[in-house]
């Protein structure tokens, strides 16, 4: 009896282990929900829907986009954080909810690190510092000199307190050692309109959004925030190239709820990696001004942690707090 009992126990332990790979290979067996934290039509929404469409073909299951806008991504993030950790509910996460909000000390209904498992980086959005043509500066150095010689005369706009362009504006102030007044708006669109009208003097905006006005001469580009120049604005130097250690591109990362099995995460990651290499995706991303940066699962977590810590330092130095 003891021998039979021991053999039975061993069998019970082995069977679940044998079943795990089979379950991973079977994933997915039904539709996957892709939760997007912004309204339809924006850059993040467009990128996510394209990836979702191609991902469905790879996984041979529907990938259904679902927009849950509100609170700079907090509503969508909370929804996914509380979903079953089975790989069937995914979040299109951005720095708004997972880096900037924590940096401001916002009380979140989730932990941006502990409650999520990163799956794949699906794009980076390069930004550019633009000024109204009335500003007498054609280079970043001239802009810095002008700001120092005329303190308190440069107002920069943003999509609101805690937005990407708000934090980048503060980073520019810190690195360049200049004084600028932050003017928050309810979205980048209204801020850009006031910049064009001369109500504000500067703004950090996405390359995709600013490109048309730059080419039309309505705005002047002083530098992109990526390490190198971007294909969409080949004549515009990077801020780093101009001598200012400012490097950033807004990120979009697919995340799953914490506790999602590792084989499922790996399956999703590998499938998305193949999507990002698809010629149609590359071409569409190039047109939208979105960068593709391959990154392994092992690289994702430290990348996101570093980003979160970086903006916490910027916020602390600037004295930024949630409203």
Give the start-to-end residue ranges of the domains of the chain: 32-125+250-318, 126-224
**Residue 29, C-beta contacts closer than 8 angstroms, at least 6 positions apart:** 61
CB atoms within 10 A of CB 73: 25
Between strands 89-94 and 32-36, the pairing is: parallel
Contact 141, 243 (CB under 8 A): yes
Which pLDDT score, from 0 to 100, does residue 167 have?
95
Asked whether the beta carbons of 250 and 124 are under 8 A apart, the reply is: yes
Q: The domain 126-224 is classified under which CATH number: 3.30.460.80, 3.40.1160.10, 3.30.460.10, 3.40.190.10?
A: 3.40.190.10
Q: Are the C-beta atoms of residues 231 and 219 closer than 8 Å to each other?
A: no
User: For position 40, what pLDDT does the model report?
Assistant: 87
pLDDT, one tens digit for every residue, the chain (323 residues): 455 544 445 444 444 443 445 555 689 999 999 999 988 887 888 889 999 999 999 999 999 999 999 888 899 999 999 999 999 999 999 998 999 999 999 999 999 999 999 999 999 999 999 999 999 999 999 999 999 999 889 999 998 888 899 999 999 999 999 999 999 998 888 999 999 999 999 999 989 889 999 999 999 999 999 999 999 999 999 999 999 999 999 999 999 999 999 999 999 999 999 999 999 999 999 888 889 999 999 999 999 999 999 999 999 999 988 86
What pLDDT was estimated at residue 15? 41
Rg for the chain, CA atoms, rounded = 23
Distance CA 71, CA 78 (A): 11
The residue whose two tokens read 């924006």 is: 42
In this chain, the answer to whether the domains covering 32-125+250-318 and 126-224 adopt an identical fold is yes
Rounded Cα distance between 27 and 249, Å, is: 32
Residue 223 and residue 239 in contact, taking contact as beta carbons nearer than 8 Å: yes
**Separation between Cα atoms, residue 110 and residue 112, nearest integer Å:** 6
Task: Note the pTM of the prediction, 2 decimals.
Answer: 0.83
Strands 89-94 and 202-206: unpaired
**Domain 32-125+250-318, CATH:** 3.40.190.150
Residue 117, C-beta contacts closer than 8 angstroms, at least 6 positions apart:
85, 255, 256, 257, 258, 259, 260, 265
Angle at 165 between CA 159 and CA 168, to 5 degrees: 155
Beta-strand relationship, 116-131 and 202-206? antiparallel
Looking at the DSSP bridge assignments, the partners of residue 33 are 64, 89
Q: What is the pLDDT of residue 159?
A: 87
CA distance 62 to 2: 50
CA distance 186 to 163: 10
List strand residue ranges (DSSP E) for the chain, in order: 32-36, 63-67, 89-94, 116-131, 155-158, 181-184, 202-206, 220-224, 249-257
pLDDT at position 176: 96
Predicted local confidence at residue 213, as pLDDT: 95
- Strand-pairing partners, residue 130, are 203, 221
């Amino acid at each position: 009896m003891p021998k039979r009992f021991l053999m039975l126990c061993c069998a019970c332990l082995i069977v679940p282990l044998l079943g795990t790979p089979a379950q991973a290979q079977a994933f997915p067996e039904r539709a996957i929900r892709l939760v997007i934290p912004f309204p339809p039509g924006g850059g993040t929404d467009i990128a996510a829907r394209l990836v979702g469409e191609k991902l469905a073909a790879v996984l041979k299951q529907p990938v259904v986009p679902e927009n849950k806008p509100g609170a700079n991504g907090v509503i969508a993030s909370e929804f996914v954080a509380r979903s079953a950790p089975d790989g069937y509910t995914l979040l299109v996460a951005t720095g708004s909810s997972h880096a900037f909000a924590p940096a401001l000390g916002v009380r979140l209904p989730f932990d941006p690190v502990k409650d999520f498992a990163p799956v794949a980086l699906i794009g980076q959005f390069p930004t550019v510092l633009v000024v109204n043509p009335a500003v007498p500066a054609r280079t970043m150095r001239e802009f810095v000199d002008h700001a120092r010689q005329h303190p308190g005369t440069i107002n920069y706009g943003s999509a609101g307190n805690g937005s990407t362009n708000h934090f980048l504006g503060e980073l520019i102030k810190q690195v360049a050692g200049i004084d600028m007044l932050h003017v928050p708006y309810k979205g980048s669109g209204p801020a850009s309109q006031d910049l064009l009208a001369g109500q504000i003097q500067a703004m950090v905006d996405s390359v995709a959004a600013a490109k048309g006005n730059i080419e039309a001469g309505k705005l002047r580009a002083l530098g992109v925030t990526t390490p190198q120049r971007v294909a969409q604005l080949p004549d515009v130097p990077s801020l780093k190239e101009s001598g200012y250690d400012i490097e950033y591109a807004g990120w979009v990362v697919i995340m799953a709820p914490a506790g999602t099995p590792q084989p499922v995460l790996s399956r999703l990651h590998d499938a998305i990696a193949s999507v990002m290499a698809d010629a149609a995706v590359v071409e569409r991303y190039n047109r939208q001004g979105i960068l593709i940066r391959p990154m392994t699962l092992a690289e994702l977590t430290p990348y996101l942690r570093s980003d979160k810590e970086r903006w916490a330092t910027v916020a602390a130095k600037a004295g930024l707090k949630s409203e």
